[in-house]
Structure 1
Amino acid sequence: MELDYKEIGKRVKIARIRADLTQEALAEKAGLSITHMSNIENGHSKLSLPMAVALANVLSVSVDEFLCDSVIHSKEVFSHEVQMLLEDCDDYEIRILTDLLKAAKDTIRRDMKLKQQE
Structure 2
Amino acid sequence: MDDILSYIGKKVRAYRKEKNYTQEVLASKSGSTITYLSMVEKGEANITIMKLESICTALGIHITQVLPKSPLNEIKNNEDSILEILKEHYSDKEVREIYQLLLTLILKIQKKQ
Partner of 1:22: 22
Larger Rg: 2
Contact 2:7–2:68, Cα closer than 8 Å, also in 1: no
User: Take 1:62 and 1:9, find their aligned partners in 2: how far apart are those partners?
Assistant: 15
Structure 1 segments of 4+ aligned residues over 3 angstroms from their partners? none
Alignment TM-score, normalising by the size of structure 2: 0.59
- Alignment deviations for residues 17-72 of structure 1 (CA, whole Å, 9 cap, x no partner): 11110011101111111100000000000111111110111101111111124x33
Q: How far apart are 1:74 and its partner, in Å?
A: 4.3
Task: Give the Cα separation in 2 of the matches to 1:52 and 1:74.
Answer: 21
5+ long unaligned stretches in structure 2:
78-113
Cα distance, 1:7–1:28 mapped onto 2, change above 3 Å? same
- Judge conservation of contact 1:6–1:41 (CA < 8 Å) in 2: yes
Aligned to 2:59: 59
Quick check: 1:45 aligned with 2:55? no
**Which structure 2 residues correspond to residues 59-78 of structure 1 after superposition, within 5 A?**
59-69=59-69, 71-72=70-71, 73-74=73-74
Counterparts of 2:37 and 2:29 in 1: how far apart (Å)?
11
For residues 64-112 of structure 1, what are the alpha-carbon distances to aligned partners after superposition, in whole Å with 9 as ceiling and x for unaligned? 111124x332478xxxxxxxxxxxxxxxxxxxxxxxxxxxxxxxxxxxx
What corresponds to 2:6 in structure 1?
6
Q: Secondary structure at the match of 2:45?
A: coil
Q: Does the 8 Å CA contact 1:68/1:74 hold for their aligned counterparts?
A: no
Whole-angstrom CA distance in 1 between matches of 2:42 and 2:6: 6
Amino acid at match of 1:33: T
Aligned residues: 74
Tell me the percent identity: 26
